[in-house]
Amino acid sequence: MTPAARIADALQSRRHILLLNHVSPDGDSLGSTLALARALWARGRQATVGSADGVPGMYRFLPGSDRVVRDIPEGAGVDAVVFMECSTPERAGGLAVRAAGVPLWVNIDHHVSNAGYGDLILYDPGAAAVGELVYPIVQALTPRLDAAAATCLLTALMTDTGSFRYASVTPRTLAIASELVAAGAHPAEIYTEVYENRPPAALRLLGMALSGLVVCEDGRVAWTAVTQQMLRDAGAAMEEAEGIVGALRALGGVQVAVLFKEEEPLTFRVSLRGRGAVRAHVIAEAFGGGGHAAAAGFTAHGTLPDVVARTLEAIRRELGAAAAS
Amino acid sequence: MTPAARIADALQSRRHILLLNHVSPDGDSLGSTLALARALWARGRQATVGSADGVPGMYRFLPGSDRVVRDIPEGAGVDAVVFMECSTPERAGGLAVRAAGVPLWVNIDHHVSNAGYGDLILYDPGAAAVGELVYPIVQALTPRLDAAAATCLLTALMTDTGSFRYASVTPRTLAIASELVAAGAHPAEIYTEVYENRPPAALRLLGMALSGLVVCEDGRVAWTAVTQQMLRDAGAAMEEAEGIVGALRALGGVQVAVLFKEEEPLTFRVSLRGRGAVRAHVIAEAFGGGGHAAAAGFTAHGTLPDVVARTLEAIRRELGAAAAS
């Protein structure tokens, strides 16, 4: 019996299954818990999807997202908990306490940082999304996938792979996507809901940030800033700066992209993206921050020119180390 | 025998096959001709890939692209021509004349506008890319697909579907993509080559255009302009404006996106994108332009405010017609 079949088997004999998203839930976590809940509902089980941080607006189109709860009462009779994409149980945020004393813990993840907790574990760091791991469980529970579950799972796959363009994409990712589209999921509609629903202020802010783009270190470093003044001019909130540092990836030859966000006067949140041999987290760690090689961040105090100068110095050190490696 | 098998059969008995791209070749056309040429080379045939407009820089990573010619000498002994994604033979540009007198014409296309010419026709408007149609021909010629041909075909599929996110994507598109990745193609590398190699000037120009974004008609219309002054300020050429009108799609609720490009003083090239029931070509036709419902364009003379006012008037008419439909 495969781990997926074992999990399907264990869940369908339970009375009330609690499916937990991680804090700041993404499309992969939400799509996966909702698809699995749907399959359990179809089998007549009680299943509750929990998300301590609720459902971000861009994911409210997901079928069943209106039934996601931020908390459940004690004594709800939960006899199984599924932790979705939670490297530790604590990643479920305030809802983690609801798992205490529950007899069956299921841990489904694809992050190398997973702590290996739980009674049943479905862990595959080679999966591009946990949606890939949940798909066979859903199939085992409901052999005829409905369009709503297919939409949830395709959202999981698309959002965790940048629409099938990350290095994590395998033949399996695309084969599953093919079956999900055959079952009634529409990639164009999902893409529109998730990525094409931005307010004009967000696009104006992106525009201002890109207009002020600076490229230095022989084209290896690109940086820009979002100031409080720019937010006022664009009529935008700082959340709308999401995606700006990613947009700098479109530049050829850039190894480090940096966005300086003025959180308040003399305080900047600095987001870093690394490419190739450059380790973004090493740069961030010099300022007490962290992350991975591809994406990291830290907070720094001072004027913008001062923070920029100190950051560029740390970047130059890492570029030297990367070149020597 | 399927049309694909019939074409494979007909081509492998020829001496010299000329594979023609359309003018302003895209990733689908170039990837498809190069994959087919590769399969013919593997079968010991002489095959020449022609592109009257050469190979744009972003597609020079395609294996074999260095062998693409802009013209071939008369008397090169061509005994078969393949027109790739050419609705009429003339779409091959200056190279179309090299097909005169050639005994076998093959026409492969997925555009509804195809004129149905040629001795062998492989036409499927349900294909998301001609790469989908060429794949079975390549398979028939070389059952074991090599990584280079897989890269060419995956580039065809990815570039014509915006990385698998357009409404044209079917289960077949993704199933073929899965097989291409299994054969050694890397979506992340293709994406980086095609979309993440832009010069800083292009990003700055995009930034300026987005900063000047105007949204009107209750959020249904978004427009911006690229002027000669902006090109000078950004250090960019007008080609770098490619993609700006597409970036406006990120706005929620927008039904028509418009970009006004100042080609020369008092002359604007106007690009339109339509969503939902709006037909962009109807708007363009009012000014003597053309296109499809999703993308159209025209040229107009006058000052920017004047051209904008006239365009918005035509858009309002089409919005009214779309609302009434």
* pLDDT band for position A322 (cuts 50, 70, 90): confident
> How far does chain B reach from its first CA to its final CA, in angstroms?
43
To 10 degrees, what angle do helices B171-182 and B147-160 make?
Answer: 150
Percent of chain A whose pLDDT exceeds 70 = 100
Residue B112 pLDDT exceeds 90: no
Kindly report, residue by residue over A193-246, the tens digit of the pLDDT. Answer: 998 888 999 999 999 999 999 999 999 999 999 999 999 999 999 988 988 998
Q: Across the interface, which of A198, A213, A250 has its CB nearest the CB of B195?
A: A250
Residue B2 pLDDT exceeds 90: yes
Backbone φ and ψ for A196, nearest 5 degrees, come out as -115, 40
Going by C-alpha positions, the residue among B134, B135, B124 that lies closest to residue B168 is B124
Residue B292 pLDDT exceeds 90: no
At residue A223, the pLDDT reads 97
Kindly report, residue by residue over B184-223, the tens digit of the pLDDT. Answer: 999 999 999 998 888 999 999 999 999 999 999 999 999 9
Fold category of B3-195 in CATH: inorganic pyrophosphatase (n-terminal core) (3.90.1640)
At residue B81, the pLDDT reads 98
pTM: 0.90
Give the B window 126-155 contacts with A, CB below 8 Å.
Answer: none
Say which DSSP state A21 is in: P
A249 touches chain B (CB under 8 A): yes
User: Cα dist. B271→A52, A57, B167, B289, B306 in Å?
Assistant: 45, 31, 21, 10, 16
Tell me the domain boundaries of chain B.
3-195, 200-324
At residue B177, the pLDDT reads 98
**What DSSP string runs through B228-277?**
HHHHHHHT--GGGGTTHHHHGGGBTT-SEEEEEEEEETTEEEEEEEE-TT
* pLDDT band for position A19 (cuts 50, 70, 90): very high
Chain A, nearest residue to B189 by Cα: A167
At residue B276, the pLDDT reads 84
**Strands across the sheet with A221-226, in order?**
A214-216, A221-226, A256-264, A267-274, A295-301, A290-291
Tell me if B39 sits within 8 A of B141, measured CB to CB: yes
Q: What is the pLDDT averaged over residues B172-189? A: 98
Contact yes or no for B196 and A170 at CB 8 A: no
At residue B87, the pLDDT reads 94
At residue B159, the pLDDT reads 95
Chain B, nearest residue to A234 by Cα: B211
CA distance, residue A302 to nearest chain B CA (Å): 27
Going by C-alpha positions, the residue among A189, A141, A182, A172 that lies closest to residue A35 is A141
Mutate to test the interface with A, among B210, B229, B258 (most CBs of A within 10 A): B210
* pLDDT band for position B115 (cuts 50, 70, 90): very high
At residue A294, the pLDDT reads 85
Question: How many A×B Cβ pairs under 8 Å?
Answer: 148
At residue A36, the pLDDT reads 98
Percent of chain B whose pLDDT exceeds 90 = 88
Chain A positions touching B189 (Cβ under 8 A) are: 167
Contact yes or no for B252 and A196 at CB 8 A: yes
Kindly report, residue by residue over A280-292, the tens digit of the pLDDT. Answer: 999 999 999 988 8
Q: Name the pairing type of β-strands A105-109 and A120-123.
A: parallel
At residue A258, the pLDDT reads 97
Fold category of A200-324 in CATH: Diaminopimelate Epimerase; Chain A, domain 1 (3.10.310)
A46 touches chain B (CB under 8 A): no
A246 touches chain B (CB under 8 A): no
Q: Name the pairing type of β-strands B105-109 and B120-123.
A: parallel
In this predicted complex, what is the ipTM? 0.89
> How far does chain A reach from its first CA to its final CA, in angstroms?
44
Contact yes or no for A211 and B215 at CB 8 A: no
The residues, ordered by sequence, that sit 6+ positions from A142 with a Cβ below 8 Å of its Cβ are A38, A39, A42, A43, A149
Q: Name the pairing type of β-strands A267-274 and A80-84.
A: unpaired
